[in-house]
């Protein structure tokens, strides 16, 4: 599922987003934009370009500033400084009304006094299109979102998923160039979330709009499989293609944010070009200078050694085997997440395929692949080459 397919490592920071569009299609760009959060604190100034027709997932925990960023991008809030351009045209002081945008909120925002039909039709009615055209377009969108049976109802008479579909329909029918979705699935239950996620991906792809999608769910960037913007406490950690950032996170914060289950962070020390860590007693050759470092190992890369020879063969650069004690095991669908510990690490996680009933207190032998370990310096910045 999330296996790293081989590919050339790219330094995301220097990669310019690919633009294959005409001169007027320049995407959305920010120049030195200052954003104030709800508490009035200024976020770091942003200079960034979102390519046209890209699907940008903005990933961050709550209070990371996703909503603030989105509101400034859409024009609902004014930036405290800097310029925002849509397709090269400065829109910083343009009103929301005159911008070609659509927005979907977390809280199923519809017009309660209007019927579903009137709700979906409202952006077109304002544009004064003919009744016949409105009807055809509303029916088309309603069909796509499976709302055709509820057109005469009021939004409050629908289920949560249907209400959110109405607001997505309202966003789609406008055929806006920029669509903003602020955690649109957060208030839905698990099954509906999965369903609607697939629908959103499908429909928005066909629209050809530049999409901004804020979420707290680390699996969504890979699901939508385009661009990702990682945010933490009002700062941008990294922006680039979701797959590449998954493989090559620029910093530890970004890697921790953009992975589920949590990534294991192991302390490592380097002395005289030898790296030792707290999982096993091995000392391996390194190019790093003396000091403390952090090794990040994803839970699925903590491999259980069932019969020693077999599984190690699959690993390119296996670590020395080590034993860990089981403290908890949780079955997640068809996978088992085992919580482990040793003397220095109170929680180490290992994700194993299949449903396994593991006894608490048992000892299991593990190893990991050095090729898949990410190394970070003390400030959390990635060191891409560390093995000698």
Partner 1 sequence: MKFKKRYILLILYLLFLLMPIYWLMNMSFKTNEEILGQFSLFPETFVWDNYITIFTDASWYSGYINSLIYVVLNTIISLSVALPAAYAFSRYEFLGGNHLFFWLLSNRMAPPAVFLLPFLNFYSSIGIFDTHLAVALAHTLFNVPLSVWILEGFMSGIPKEIDESASIDGYSFPKFFVKLFLPLIAPGIGVTAFFCFMFSWVELLLARTLTTVNAKPISAVMTRTVSAAGMDWGLLAAAGVLTIVPGILVIWFVRNYIAKGFSLGRV
Separation CA 363–CA 342 (nearest Å):
10
Q: How far apart, in Å, do the first and last CA atoms of the chain sit?
A: 30
Among the candidate windows 15-23, 97-105, 191-199, 349-357, which touches partner 1 by CB under 8 A? 97-105
Among 42, 90, 107, 152, binds partner 1 (CB under 8 A): 107
Separation CA 273–CA 126 (nearest Å):
69
| Chain length of the chain | 388
113 belongs to the binding site for partner 1 (CB under 8 A): yes
103 belongs to the binding site for partner 1 (CB under 8 A): yes
Q: Quick one: 166 or 265, whose CB is closer to partner 1?
A: 166
21 belongs to the binding site for partner 1 (CB under 8 A): no
102 belongs to the binding site for partner 1 (CB under 8 A): yes
Q: Quick one: 173 or 196, whose CB is closer to partner 1?
A: 173
129 belongs to the binding site for partner 1 (CB under 8 A): no
219 belongs to the binding site for partner 1 (CB under 8 A): no
Q: How far is the CB of 145 from partner 1 (least distance, A)?
A: 17
Q: Note whether 257 and 21 are within 8 A (CB).
A: no
Q: How far is the CB of 46 from partner 1 (least distance, A)?
A: 22
Among 10, 48, 114, 256, binds partner 1 (CB under 8 A): 114
Q: How far is the CB of 58 from partner 1 (least distance, A)?
A: 18
Separation CA 209–CA 253 (nearest Å):
30
Strand partners, 336: 331, 352
Q: How far is the CB of 183 from partner 1 (least distance, A)?
A: 13
Over the window 55 to 94, marking each residue x when it contacts partner 1 by CB under 8 A and - when it does not, the resulting string is -------------------x-x------------------
Q: Note whether 367 and 303 are within 8 A (CB).
A: yes
223 belongs to the binding site for partner 1 (CB under 8 A): no
**For the packed helices 131-144 and 160-173, what is the interaxial angle rounded to 10 degrees?**
130
Q: How far is the CB of 42 from partner 1 (least distance, A)?
A: 18
Q: Token pair for residue 86? A: 């849509």
Separation CA 182–CA 214 (nearest Å):
5
209 belongs to the binding site for partner 1 (CB under 8 A): no
Neighbouring C-beta atoms of residue 238, cutoff 10 Å? 23
304 belongs to the binding site for partner 1 (CB under 8 A): no
Q: Note whether 252 and 272 are within 8 A (CB).
A: no
> 211: which DSSP letter?
E
Separation CA 110–CA 119 (nearest Å):
7
Q: How far is the CB of 163 from partner 1 (least distance, A)?
A: 13
**Window 171 to 200, contacts with partner 1 (CB under 8 A):** 174
- Nearest 5°: the CA angle 124, 127, 129 is 70
Instruction: Kindly list the residues in this chain that would bind partner 1 in the complex (CB under 8 A).
Output: 74, 76, 95-97, 101-103, 105, 107, 109-114, 122-123, 126-127, 167, 170, 174
């Amino acid at each position: 599922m999330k296996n790293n397919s081989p590919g050339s490592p790219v330094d995301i920071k220097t990669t310019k987003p690919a633009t294959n569009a005409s001169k007027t299609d320049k995407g959305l760009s920010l120049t030195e934009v200052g954003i104030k959060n709800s508490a009035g604190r200024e976020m770091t100034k942003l200079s960034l370009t979102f390519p046209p027709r890209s699907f940008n997932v903005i990933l961050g925990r709550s209070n990371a500033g996703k909503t603030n960023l989105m509101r400034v991008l859409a024009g609902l809030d004014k930036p405290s400084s800097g310029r925002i351009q849509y397709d090269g045209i400065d829109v910083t002081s343009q009103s929301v009304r005159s911008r070609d945008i659509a927005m979907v909120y977390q809280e199923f925002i519809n017009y309660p006094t209007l019927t579903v039909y009137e709700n979906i039709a409202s952006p077109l009615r304002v544009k004064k299109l003919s009744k016949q055209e409105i009807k055809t377009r509303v029916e088309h969108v309603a069909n796509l979102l499976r709302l055709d049976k509820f057109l005469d109802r009021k939004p409050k008479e629908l289920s949560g998923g249907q209400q959110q579909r109405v607001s997505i329909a309202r966003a789609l029918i406008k055929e806006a160039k920029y669509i903003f979705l602020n955690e649109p699935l957060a208030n839905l239950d698990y099954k509906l979330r999965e369903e609607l996620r697939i629908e959103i991906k499908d429909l928005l792809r066909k629209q050809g709009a530049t999409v901004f999608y804020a979420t707290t769910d680390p699996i969504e960037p890979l699901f939508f499989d385009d661009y990702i913007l990682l945010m933490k406490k009002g700062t941008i950690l990294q922006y680039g293609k979701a797959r590449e950032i998954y493989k090559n996170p620029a910093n530890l914060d970004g890697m921790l944010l953009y992975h589920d289950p949590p990534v294991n962070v192991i302390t490592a020390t380097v002395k005289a070009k030898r790296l030792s860590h707290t999982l096993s007693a091995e000392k391996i050759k390194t190019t790093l200078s003396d000091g403390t470092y952090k090794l990040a190992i994803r839970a699925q890369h903590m491999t259980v050694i069932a019969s020693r020879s077999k599984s190690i063969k699959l690993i390119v650069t296996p670590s020395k085997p080590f034993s860990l004690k089981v403290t908890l095991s949780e079955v997640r669908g068809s996978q088992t997440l085992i919580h482990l510990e040793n003397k220095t690490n109170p929680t180490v996680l290992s994700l194993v395929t299949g449903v396994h009933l593991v006894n608490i207190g048992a000892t299991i032998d593990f190893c990991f692949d050095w090729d898949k370990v990410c190394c970070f310096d003390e400030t959390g910045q990635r060191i891409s080459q560390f093995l000698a």
